[in-house]
Amino acid sequence: MRTDSRRWWALGFLALAQFMVIMDTSIIGVALPKMQSDLGFTPDGLSWVFNAYVVAFGGLLLLGGRLSDLLGARRMFTAGWVVTLAGSVVAALAGTAAIELTGRVLQGAGAALIAPSALTLLMVLFGERPKELTKALALYGAAAPAGGTAGVFLGGVITEWLSWPWIFWLYVPISLIAIAATPALMPVTPARRGAVDVAGAVAVTAGLALTVFAIVRAPEQGWGSAATLGALAGGIVLLAIFLVIQRSRRVPLVRLGIFRTPNLGAANLAQLLLGAAWIPMWYFLNLYLQQVLGYGAFAGGAALLPMTLLIVILMVGVAPRLIARFGPKTLIVAGLWALAAGLVWLSFVRPTGSFVVDVLPASLVAALGQALAFIPSLGMAISTAKPEEGGLASGIVNTAYQIGSALGLAAMTAVGLSFGAGELGNVVALTDGFSAAFLGAAAIALVGGFLGLVTIRTARAASASKQEVTSL
């Protein structure tokens, strides 16, 4: 009985880790104007307070997953909190833009160790209990949108009543508690022999960073400019070099054969497109509330609570039952299409709109879609891999979602700006820009649903394919 209780306490702790990792992407949003004036950020450089974290997080996740498999998930989980602690202190004490970005990169690197290790530990705790595993993944998954909304809410509270450095000081006691509690709560996972592919890690991280950088800067530099095309080409070349390295290494960072596992690639594609549609929705909805409807930081965060509560309720209480009844494919496809429907509805927001009419119903439909698609795609991506590659599978699926989020937000920012989303004070132009971004994100979700319909195999087909792969 005490063992069962300890497992659920450990799950709560892992969900808290997911909550904090995702919250770190959103908590700085409201504080950006103050950080710009205090630290001397240029207007185009300010977005890198967000992007530095996301790129380091997404780019290093594969390395974090590999280290989790080699050195042990519990050890890497602890190491991630140590790095997060260091990054938070640097970011809080920063006196210049460069030092601030250094702290954010360290925070992202810490998150890249925490996230795949946490999923591996979750699988160790619940992997042999299928019914409990679905519930555990639901609770873990619900922590992500809760963390995103809590970040906006807490960022507003801290910025309004304290000062922006306290956003980062918040992570110091939490990191210390995590470091102290991990040995008592988390299971020991064995270390394995193997090498770390440093060259591959550098290539994939630099390639992803350059690609995101090119898309983020494209609205200002121009999509056809030498700077944009050069950065995009550099990113693609580095990612190609990464694939070449993986094929030639005896012990690669990512065993490319893992993608022959039935449904693993399809599940990661669904996660990538889900992030690419959901994060722009959340970002531009927050801007609409503040810049068009005139909500303050506190009220804007509170306005996002209804859809967050719905996601938590659906993920924890409803999604596991629906997965058991209809299977993951049906929920992933239906969820992506529901998200697309909610985004199309949001595209009808008005300059003179209201929260109750223009935001609440459409955001709840979008939240329904996110809740339906997230858990089955996450569970499929992890459970289809070999046990000894659990960390790698966790790293891949986290990378897919985070890079999808970064690229989707960058692309939809470009779309929104081209339709007027940058014209502060002009509520008509702002609304047109936000509407265009919502429609662009809806197209991503719609395409994601069709791709899921084509690429995800049913249980019978996947089982047959798995037997063929095993026999090779």
Residue 29: what are its φ and ψ, rounded to 5°? -55, -50
User: What does the pLDDT read at residue 308?
Assistant: 80
301 and 182 part of one domain: no
By CB atoms closer than 10 A (0-12, 13-18, 19+), residue 192 is exposed
Give the distance from CA 421 to its chain's centroid: 24
How many CB atoms neighbour CB 237 within 10 A?
Answer: 13
User: What does the pLDDT read at residue 431?
Assistant: 92
* 3-state class (DSSP) for residue 304: coil
Residue 4: inside a domain, yes or no?
yes
6 and 152 part of one domain: yes
Residue 212: inside a domain, yes or no?
no
C-alpha dihedral, 246 to 252 to 257 to 262, nearest 10°: -120
Residue 237: inside a domain, yes or no?
no
DSSP 353-399: --IIIIIHHHHHHHHHHHHHHHHHHHHHHHHTS-GGGHHHHHHHHHH
170 and 280 part of one domain: no
CB 238 within 8 A of CB 280: no
Best CA proximity match to 445, nearest among 388, 355, 377: 377
User: What does the pLDDT read at residue 92?
Assistant: 93
For the chain, counts of helices (H) and of strands (E): 19, 0
User: What does the pLDDT read at residue 468?
Assistant: 38
CB 172 within 8 A of CB 89: yes
285 and 382 part of one domain: yes
User: What does the pLDDT read at residue 124?
Assistant: 82
User: What does the pLDDT read at residue 386?
Assistant: 66
Rounded to whole angstroms, what are the CA distances from 365 to 74, 107, 220, 311?
38, 33, 33, 10
User: What does the pLDDT read at residue 467?
Assistant: 43
Residues of the chain with pLDDT under 70: 1-5, 29-30, 33, 42-47, 127, 145, 191-195, 216, 219-220, 257-259, 297, 384-392, 459-472
pTM: 0.77
CB 343 within 8 A of CB 442: yes
Residue 347: inside a domain, yes or no?
yes
* Beta carbons within 8 Å of 183's beta carbon, 6+ residues apart: 74, 78
* Contacts by 308-313, CB closer than 8 A, 24 or more apart: 308/145, 308/146, 308/148, 308/149, 308/150, 308/367, 310/364, 310/367, 310/368, 310/371, 311/142, 311/145, 311/146, 311/367, 311/370, 311/371, 312/142, 312/145, 312/146
Residue 93: inside a domain, yes or no?
yes
The most distant pair of C-alpha atoms in the chain lies apart, rounded to whole Å, by 64
Rounded to whole angstroms, what are the CA distances from 439 to 274, 346, 410, 416?
14, 8, 15, 10
Give me the residue label for tokens 């499929």.
380
Give me the residue label for tokens 């519990």.
74
* 3-state class (DSSP) for residue 458: coil
140 and 263 part of one domain: no
End-to-end CA, the chain: 43
Residue 203: inside a domain, yes or no?
no
174 and 302 part of one domain: no
**In the structure encoding, which two tokens stand for residue 161, read together?**
């009543």
Rounded to whole angstroms, what are the CA distances from 171 to 118, 230, 365?
18, 37, 33
181 and 305 part of one domain: no
Encode pLDDT of 215-257 as tens digits: 767 766 777 888 888 988 999 999 899 889 888 877 777 777 6
Which amino acid belongs to residue 55?
V
User: What does the pLDDT read at residue 195?
Assistant: 65
Q: How far apart are CA 126 and CA 118, in angstroms?
A: 12
269 and 182 part of one domain: no
313 and 449 part of one domain: yes
CATH number at residue 85: 1.20.1250.20
Residue 457: what are its φ and ψ, rounded to 5°? -95, 150
Best CA proximity match to 118, nearest among 20, 229, 193: 20
27 and 147 part of one domain: yes
The total number of structural domains in the chain stands at 2
Encode pLDDT of 253-279 as tens digits: 777 766 677 777 788 899 999 989 988
User: What does the pLDDT read at residue 459?
Assistant: 57
**In the structure encoding, which two tokens stand for residue 320, read together?**
């596991």
Which amino acid belongs to residue 465?
S
Domain of residue 273 covers: 258-472
> Which of 129, 158, 186 marks a domain boundary?
186
Residue 221: inside a domain, yes or no?
no
146 and 19 part of one domain: yes
List b or e across 83-103, with b for residues whose CB sees 16 or more CB atoms inside 10 angstroms.
bbbbbbbbbbebeebeebbbb
Residue 350: what are its φ and ψ, rounded to 5°? -115, 155
Give the distance from CA 268 to its chain's centroid: 12
User: What does the pLDDT read at residue 466?
Assistant: 44
Task: Tell me the HSE value of 26 on the side-chain side, using a 13 A CA sphere.
Answer: 31
> Which of 154, 186, 218 marks a domain boundary?
186
What is the DSSP-derived secondary structure letter of residue 251?
Answer: S
Give me the residue label for tokens 């909805």.
285
Q: How far apart are CA 354 and CA 386, in angstroms?
A: 50
Alpha helices in 225-318 (DSSP H): 226-248, 264-287, 297-303, 305-313
Residue 247: inside a domain, yes or no?
no
Best CA proximity match to 254, nearest among 95, 109, 397: 397
265 and 141 part of one domain: no
> Which of 136, 168, 186 marks a domain boundary?
186
Task: Tell me the HSE value of 252 on the side-chain side, using a 13 A CA sphere.
Answer: 17
